[in-house]
Amino acid sequence: MPVIFSPEGMVEQVLKNPATALNKEICASHIIKVWEAVSGYIIQQLCKGRAVRIDHLAIITFKVKTVEMSQREVMIQKVPHILLSAEIEKRHGLKIKRPVYNLDVPEVDLNLSTIALCTNLTRAHVEYCIDEIICAFNRALMCDPQVEFWFPKIGRVVIQCADVDVVFATSFLNLLGYSDEFVQDKACPLR
């Protein structure tokens, strides 16, 4: 059975670290609130056409593909994509399918101050919550060959025996304005 990093699963995994400050400085609801705010920030930036980099974890971006319609018309398709960091890929021996398309999309770092404003927590608490989640994710990858990492309202990264797949939520793909056949091909409902 895979280790599931849903918001509640993240709290469970963070509690496995004996050195965690959970229940001392921060509580479980803070981790859930922060991670949901992170997903909201990512959705906001993707809707503006920007990729988001979460240091030591992933880049949530678009694969840009040009399709020639005729001699004079070219259609540009932007397909959402989540790339785990090269650091995670090397450390855990993951087989990440690197896109063959252009990833030349403007990129912004995760803005912790914006997340702090959304959650009414201090920037230090937000940073600590995100660091705890990333550390728990790395520990889970070391201990278990099957891990699911969720981005609420966006989708999830599914890792099975070093193979990495990304599945997006139907509501997220609809928000970005994709056609029904694309949505049915690329999406799955979040549990």
State the residue for tokens 């997340």: 115
Tokens encoding 32: 């859930």
Cα separation, 149 vs 19, whole angstroms: 22
The backbone torsions φ and ψ at residue 175, rounded to the nearest 5 degrees and listed phi first, read -60, -40
8 Å CB contact between 151 and 130: no
Higher pLDDT, 64 or 118: 118
Question: How many domains is the chain built from?
Answer: 1
| pTM of the complete model | 0.84
pLDDT per position as a tens digit, 121-130 = 999 999 989 9
Looking at residue 95, its pLDDT comes to 80
Is 80 contained in some domain?
Answer: yes
Portion of the chain with pLDDT greater than 90, in percent: 29
What's the pLDDT band for 170 if we cut at 50, 70, 90?
A: confident
Is 159 contained in some domain?
Answer: yes
pLDDT at 86 over 90: no
Is 97 contained in some domain?
Answer: yes
Cα separation, 2 vs 66, whole angstroms: 36
What's the pLDDT band for 190 if we cut at 50, 70, 90?
A: very low
pLDDT at 186 over 60: no
Cα separation, 110 vs 134, whole angstroms: 14
Q: Domain limits at 49?
A: 3-185
Is 191 contained in some domain?
Answer: no
8 Å CB contact between 148 and 159: yes
CB atoms within 10 A of CB 2: 14
3-state secondary structure of 3: strand
Is 171 contained in some domain?
Answer: yes
Is 190 contained in some domain?
Answer: no
Average pLDDT over residues 171-181: 76
pLDDT per position as a tens digit, 98-157 = 665 556 788 999 999 999 999 999 999 999 899 988 988 998 888 888 999 999 999 999
What's the pLDDT band for 11 if we cut at 50, 70, 90?
A: confident
Is 144 contained in some domain?
Answer: yes
Element (H, E) at 182: helix 180-186
From residue 48, give the alpha-carbon distance in Å to each of 51, 103, 106: 9, 16, 10
- Diameter of the chain by CA atoms? 64
